[in-house]
A and B are shown apart, each in its own frame.
Chain A
């Protein structure tokens, strides 16, 4: 039986003809959503405690530092202080970033996949790269804020107290700001990319957090083992220390001693750490794109 018993009338559908925004609008909206999610905004109180506690740990010492300098009077950035300078502060912020991305990366990626929310994105005029940029952008924006804002508070606050005057202090210490920016990329990418990579493949948030923290904090121990054992090519094993590559860049940027960091102890130059961080970042983006091409 192949008769056609129905008729479909073309009623002259008029599609939406108003202005459309570009891709950037969608990506910005995703970044905003990611920021909101990372800080637990509009979520239960217990979801807010962890990110805001970390924000407090990252920001408050910088404010206290400037206040301390103000009370001390004749303070200058070169003076000894209980907090040290930018390099020492970055050490504190680095730990905060590790703890932050450990939780934020899986919370940004895993619920979308496991709760079937990816259809929200895949049925919109968005590419896989738009989705990835939206999520990665949110994580990096928060991590960069954690890094840059306290350092800016110190930079501006101390310039305001400098005996040489505010404007000249800003100019004289501009190189500090450049060093902070260079180091920021190393920390944000160096710590953020592995967190994203793990979250890309993990099915649940809790295990993803655990695996990331274990990887970051245990990897220096493996690097130490590679440093002391005498294996052909064993020195390359020291590069597994994910936690210490950003620290190598920080020490290099601020002219600090590399101490006994395994990869520099066995003769690797700081640029090797920079290449390593860039490679991990690129690999993460590649694997995310590959994974999400199947999902989106």
Chain B
């Protein structure tokens, strides 16, 4: 078991001190991490270098420095390795004139699957597009196009699946379906890497994230653990009780609490020591005979963690 959150146990993809620059612009700077079976969310604001990193993971872009290894070998060193890789690019990557079935059959043939038609039908079923198999991709909604791209990445049953913003343009039902599907693939032992800027969805998919900010590895690991690692940023805790005004007044001035604010019946506390705060709140509640309804961290969500990483606040 590894002790570094950026490194996965049983890695299938290893990123070793990888940098990529385009002229003067540094897109990715000295990133080291790895990905193993299961689902990993790749996060970062626009222009952070997510797409460049994903393209390097799949060998579509070569690093300027460092190396990416897929099961110990560089992906471009042997194209047969692409039998084990499925990639959903952010861009269109579809032939509008073809039907979904024709397109997937074509993709399966390019991946040298023996029975491309059967593989296409399986992939269509997986993404729930069987009913639209004979419709032209050009007439599909954005969500259906995304599902077609996911099906194309799955058509040869790869071991590694890399998806760049796969949930873009999907409606809530399609999104839920895709999230479920990706979770299932990860549970079946595939290495699934998903980049997304829709944080709640990443949170629904996985607890393991790798965050890239300005081309650098900003954080990695379990979302709650990342938040705990940000000890310099006070925790925000929501408290709800039957005597909010009286309770908030009592908490004022306690050394374990750096800030108290009252908003109707909601007390917002800030602290740098979550355990000490818990003890203080319990003691005061007991002393003042206050009935606590809620005591919950407000900023352990991925969105808060992400905001701290990007903005430092």
Residues of A within 8 A of B (CB): 1-16, 18-23, 25-26, 29-30, 33, 37, 42-43, 115-117, 119-127, 296
* Beta-carbon contact of A121 and B5 below 8 Å: no
* Beta-carbon contact of A124 and B9 below 8 Å: no
B residues less than 8 Å from A42 (CB atoms): 97-98, 102, 136
Which residues between 1 and 58 of chain B lie within 8 Å of chain A, taking CB atoms?
1-5, 8-10, 36-38, 58
* Beta-carbon contact of B89 and A119 below 8 Å: yes
* Beta-carbon contact of B110 and A11 below 8 Å: no
In the bound complex, CA of A107 to CA of B74 (Å)? 33
Contact of A20 among B8, B112, B228 (CB under 8 A): B112
Which residues between 59 and 113 of chain B lie within 8 Å of chain A, taking CB atoms?
59-60, 79-87, 89, 91-95, 97-98, 102, 106-107, 109-113
Q: A13-B190, A21-B112, A125-B79 are in contact. Are A120 and B107 (CB under 8 A)?
A: yes
* Beta-carbon contact of B58 and A23 below 8 Å: no
* Beta-carbon contact of A115 and B113 below 8 Å: no
A residues less than 8 Å from B113 (CB atoms): 16, 18, 20-21
Contact of A115 among B91, B136, B229 (CB under 8 A): B91
A31: min CB distance to chain B, Å: 11
* Beta-carbon contact of B159 and A13 below 8 Å: yes
Residues of B within 8 A of A (CB): 1-5, 8-10, 36-38, 58-60, 79-87, 89, 91-95, 97-98, 102, 106-107, 109-115, 136, 152-153, 156-159, 187-190, 207-208, 221-222, 224-225, 228-229, 231
* Beta-carbon contact of A11 and B93 below 8 Å: no
* Beta-carbon contact of A15 and B110 below 8 Å: no
Q: A13-B189, A15-B159, A115-B92 are in contact. Are A1 and B110 (CB under 8 A)?
A: no
* Beta-carbon contact of B189 and A29 below 8 Å: no
* Beta-carbon contact of A11 and B79 below 8 Å: no
10 tightest Cβ-Cβ pairs between the two chains A and B? A116-B91, A13-B189, A1-B229, A5-B222, A123-B87, A11-B189, A29-B109, A5-B225, A119-B89, A16-B157
In the bound complex, CA of A164 to CA of B95 (Å)? 53
- In the complex, residue of chain A having the shortest beta-carbon distance to the beta carbon of B225: A5
* Beta-carbon contact of B87 and A30 below 8 Å: no
* Beta-carbon contact of B110 and A119 below 8 Å: no
Given A11-B188, A117-B95, 14 new contacts (CB under 8 A):
A3-B3, A5-B207, A5-B222, A6-B5, A8-B36, A11-B37, A16-B83, A23-B112, A43-B97, A117-B92, A119-B60, A119-B93, A123-B86, A125-B83
6 A-B contacts (beta carbon < 8 Å): A8-B37, A13-B188, A116-B92, A122-B60, A123-B58, A123-B87
B residues less than 8 Å from A6 (CB atoms): 5, 207-208, 221-222
B residues less than 8 Å from A4 (CB atoms): 1-5, 221
B residues less than 8 Å from A26 (CB atoms): 109-112
Interface of A is mostly: loop
Contact of B83 among A10, A12, A20, A29 (CB under 8 A): A20
- In the complex, residue of chain B having the shortest beta-carbon distance to the beta carbon of A29: B109
Contact of A125 among B10, B82, B87, B93 (CB under 8 A): B82
A46: min CB distance to chain B, Å: 13
A residues less than 8 Å from B93 (CB atoms): 115-117, 119-120
In the bound complex, CA of A118 to CA of B167 (Å)? 21
Contact of B111 among A8, A37, A124 (CB under 8 A): A124
B152: min CB distance to chain A, Å: 7
